[in-house]
Amino acid sequence: MLSGTRVRRLPPLPDWKPRRVDLLCRDMESRKRVSVRIRPKSRGAAASSFHRFAVFTAIDGTLLDARTFEAGSARPMIGRLHAAGVPVIPVSVMTLDEIAPIAADLGLHDAMVIEGGGAIARWMASGWEIEACGPPADTLLEVVREIEERSGANLLVYSALEEKDAARLSGRSGEMLHASMRRRFSEPFVIESGDVAAVRKAAARIGFSVRRGRRFFHLCRECDEGEAAMRICEELRCDMTVALGGTLLDSEFLTRADVPIIVPGPDGQADSELQALVPNARIAPSPAPHGWAAAVDDAWQSLLASRSKAHPA
C-alpha cells in the first residue's frame, strides 16, 4: 500500500449495466489498497505550471529494458530533461503500486497515466492522488465474462492467474509481480482459446475495444490513454509534446503528439501494425533504454533548433 495516496472517482459509465457473475474466485478486497476520496476535478489543474515541452512515454519495453526493467542509458537523458524543467510523463499499463517505485527512482513527480488509461495519478506534495477515468477492475471482470459468452473464447485474466503463471507471462518477480497483479482500473488478459477477431467484435458490441500490449491484451474504452494524456498536457499547459511507445496500446497517445516515436521491441523491430496506425512516427534507432534516450535527444535538439529559427535572438 502506498501511504498518502487518495482516489477520486468519476461517475460510472452511463451505458454499462453490470450483471452478477463469478469473479474468478478472486478476493476483491485485496484490490482496495487505497482509500477513496471525492474532490473537485479542477484542483489538479489549478496546481499545475506552464511547460513548453513535455515527454509522454510508455514504460515497459519503451523507457525500461523489456527484460530487466532497468533504465540504464536513459537515466542521463532523464536527468537532462529534469534540469531543463521538462516533465516526463509515464503512460503505462502498470499499476500505481508497481510504477511508483520506478517513478521515485527516476525522479518522475508530475503526473502519470496508469493501468492503460484507467486512471491518472498526480503528485500532490505528500503522495500520489488518483483520479479514476473508467470503470473499476471488478466491473471489467464482468466485461471479460460477457466477452467470453459472446465470442466463445476462453480468456485468462492476469490478476486471477496462479503466481507462477503470472511471473512467466509478465517477466516480473517478487514485489513487482505482486504489485502488478493488484489491478484496480484494468484487467489485462491472454486468449487461451478462441479467435481474436471474435473477441474484438464481442467487446465492441458492449462499448469496449481490445488492444494488444507488449505482453497482454487490454480492454479499453475509446481513446483511454490518449484522452488521459491530453488532459495532463492541458494541465501542464505545454505547447509541444514528444510521445514514445512500442505497441498498439500506445497508438492513441502517439497519434496526438507533435513528435510521435516508436521504440523497437527487444528483437530490434518496430511494431508494423503500430507503424501503420501512426505513419508519421519516427523510429528509435534501437530498443529500450538506449533507443529511448537517443530518440528523445534527437527530438529535443530538433525542436530547440526549430524554435530558435522561428524566434531568433
For the stretch 29-80, pLDDT in tens is 333 343 323 233 434 433 344 458 899 999 999 999 999 999 999 999 999 9
Say if CB 255 and CB 278 are below 8 A apart. Answer: yes
pLDDT for 310 equals: 64
What's at 35, amino acid-wise? S
Domain spans in the chain, listed from the N-terminal domain onward: 19-39+134-220, 42-132+223-310
Say if CB 180 and CB 114 are below 8 A apart. Answer: no
φ, ψ of residue 47 in degrees (nearest 5): -85, 0
Specify the CATH number for 19-39+134-220; select among 3.40.50.450, 1.20.1560.10, 3.40.50.10860, 3.30.980.20: 3.30.980.20
Q: For 150-175, b where at least 16 C-beta lie within 10 A, e where not — what string?
A: ebebebbbbbbbeeeebbeebbbeee
For the stretch 178-233, pLDDT in tens is 999 999 999 999 999 999 999 999 999 998 989 899 999 998 876 578 889 999 99
pLDDT > 70? residue 173: yes
For the stretch 91-101, pLDDT in tens is 999 999 999 99
pLDDT for 223 equals: 59
Statement: the pTM of the whole predicted model exceeds 0.85: no
Average confidence score pLDDT of the chain: 83
φ, ψ of residue 308 in degrees (nearest 5): -65, -40
What is the spatial distance between Cα 107 and Cα 189, in angstroms, rounded to a whole number? 31
Residue 50 three-state SS = coil
What's at 265, amino acid-wise? G
Task: Provide the sign of the torsion angle of the four alpha carbons 79, 105, 110, 248, taken in this order.
Answer: positive
For the stretch 129-166, pLDDT in tens is 999 988 899 889 999 999 999 999 999 999 999 999 99
Among 257, 291, 278, residue whose Cα is nearest residue 56? 257
Say if CB 122 and CB 39 are below 8 A apart. Answer: no
What is the spatial distance between Cα 89 and Cα 132, in angstroms, rounded to a whole number? 17
Q: Where are any strands of DSSP class E within 68-205? A: 88-90, 111-114, 119-123, 128-132, 154-157, 189-193
Q: What is the CATH number of domain 42-132+223-310?
A: 3.40.50.1000
pLDDT for 11 equals: 38
Among 100, 96, 140, 133, residue whose Cα is nearest residue 232? 133
